[in-house]
A = this chain, B = another copy of it.
Amino acid sequence: MATPTAADELSPVRERIVRAAVKLFAAKGFDGTTVQEIVTAAEVTKGALYHYYTAKEDLLYEIYRSLISIQMADLDRIIAEHADPADTVRAILVNLVETTAARVDETAVFVREMQKLDAECMTAFRAERRRYHETFRSVVEQAQATGRFSPTVSAETVVLIALGVVNQLPTWYRPDGPKSPDRLGNEIADFVLAGLGVGPSA
Contacts and interface: CB of A to CB of B under 8 A. Distances in A.
Interface of A: 27, 29-32, 111-113, 115-116, 150, 152-154, 157-158, 160-161, 163-169, 171-172, 184, 187-188, 190-192, 194-197, 200
A134 to B, nearest CB: 13
A196 B153 CA distance: 14
Contacts of A184: 157
Number of chain copies forming the complex: 2
A186 to B, nearest CB: 10
A29 B172 CA distance: 22
Given A192-B195, A194-B150, A32 B164 contact: no
B158 A161 contact: no
The 6 lowest CB-CB distance pairs between A and B, nearest first, are A31-B31, A164-B165, A195-B195, A164-B168, A164-B164, A194-B195
Contacts of A113: 29
Given A31-B31, A161-B165, A188-B161, A153 B116 contact: no
Contacts of A152: 190, 194, 200
